[in-house]
Amino acid sequence: MEVEMGGEEGGLFRKRMFLEELFDRKFVDAVLNEWHKTMMDLPAGFRQAYEMGLVSSAQMVKFLAINARPTTSRFISRTLPQGMSRAFIGRMLADPAFLYRLLLEEAATIGSSVWWEVKNRKDRIKQEWDLALMNVLTVAACNALVVWSLAPCRSYGNTFRFDLQNTLQKLPNNIFERSYPLREFDLQKRIHSLFYKAAELCIVGLTAGAVQGSLSNFLASKKKEKLSVTIPSMSTNALGYGAFLGLYANLRYQLLCGFDQAMVNHFDVIGVALFFSTALRVLNVQLGERSRLAWLGVEVDPLVQSDDLLKAYNRPSEDGTRSSSKWFISKNAIVSGLGLLGIRQGNAESAANEETRAPKARRKRIVRKKVTASSA
């Protein structure tokens, strides 16, 4: 008997009971009858998978929940082109929370990037808003492509002209994706998928970095004042984005997909799994934003980006004048003290002049003594 964390009656953190997917035609037809649908109401690709017995009853429920009534997912699937629509539906079948995860990633990425731009550019954000906007759009686009590329997907009936394309299609989107009919993922395919996704995301990063680098340098060339944030060259920006997405981001999101799948399979309450997934994804975005700046070599100019630092930089001259005035006051005090000893005293300037002229006076007296000695 399995012991649950929430007690005998379950609880918020109760474990999920694993149930196998039912691919029997009777159960799938029962789901269609319950939704008052027939086989002809299904799209071509999904209908072909249904006829081949590759669709389970659980997948049919997920598909009808998306397309049988007006929802945001159905609106998006009907708005996208046919190829992207099939890919979107396949990702929703594999992970019903895919749209939520994608929107969460985009909101966290845009918010973190905007916050960094405003924090470091400060008053210069009004003059450099186009450069900041370029950075935010590039980061948001790259993050969306990474999440889309590594999300688990159910694909059926897709055939291509070349054998290489058919071979790549049979690879999982991430190393932790579960197998399903006609898609058996062994260890070799998962390793191949890791390197294939690294190369794919590296190409995406090179393209995005080259476009963003060229546009940023073009906009920076029209700025008359010095920029508050350094802008890498086009080649440096392209190579930095390529390495960042292909190596670092690929590894982080591969592990994140595995964590999401483990949470969904472990907890029966979907809200608990989404809570842990949300917390980890927000932390992952914060880590990725800091790491991206280091990979690209972006730095903040401390003398340009902050007026407070500029004021602090100009303070030593003011402090020098103040210290000199205090030094003259102390001279007055010394001169007034010498007056008690019978030494002639005057104002501060005359005292200072006497001190500067004292060596010359001593030299004259020494010469006079030598002359008087010779005359005697």
Give residue-wise pLDDT tens across range 174-194: 999 988 777 888 899 999 999
pLDDT the model gives residue 206:
95
Euclidean distance between CA atoms 98 and 102, whole angstroms = 6
Contacts of 262 (CB under 8 A, 6+ apart): none
- For residues 107-140, one letter each, b for 16 or more C-beta atoms within 10 angstroms of the residue's C-beta and e for the rest, the string is ebbbebbbebbeebbeebbeebeebbebbbebbb
- Burial status of residue 56 (CB atoms within 10 A of its CB: 0-12, 13-18, 19 or more): buried
**Considering its fold, how many domains does the chain have in total?**
1
Domain assignment present for 294: yes
338's tokens: 């010498």
Query: What residues form DSSP beta bridges with 15?
Result: 267
Degrees (nearest 5) of the Cα angle 61, 66, 70? 130
pLDDT the model gives residue 166:
75
Domain assignment present for 366: no
Domain assignment present for 114: yes
Domain assignment present for 192: yes
Q: Residue holding tokens 């964590």? A: 259
Domain assignment present for 36: no
- Burial status of residue 241 (CB atoms within 10 A of its CB: 0-12, 13-18, 19 or more): buried
Euclidean distance between CA atoms 100 and 50, whole angstroms = 27
pLDDT the model gives residue 60:
81
Domain assignment present for 243: yes
Domain assignment present for 14: no
Contact between 260 and 152 under an 8 Å Cβ cutoff? The reply is no
Contact between 47 and 19 under an 8 Å Cβ cutoff? The reply is no
Contact between 313 and 303 under an 8 Å Cβ cutoff? The reply is yes
Q: If you ran DSSP here, which 8-state letter would residue 127 be given?
A: T
**Domain limits at 102?**
96-304
> Which ranges of the chain have pLDDT less than 50?
1-8, 305, 318-331, 333-338, 340-341, 345, 348, 351-352, 358, 360-361, 364, 370, 373-376
**What is the pTM assigned to this prediction?**
0.71
Of 119, 95, 59, whose CA–CA distance to 300 is shortest?
119
Contact between 120 and 304 under an 8 Å Cβ cutoff? The reply is no
Euclidean distance between CA atoms 311 and 95, whole angstroms = 54
Domain assignment present for 190: yes
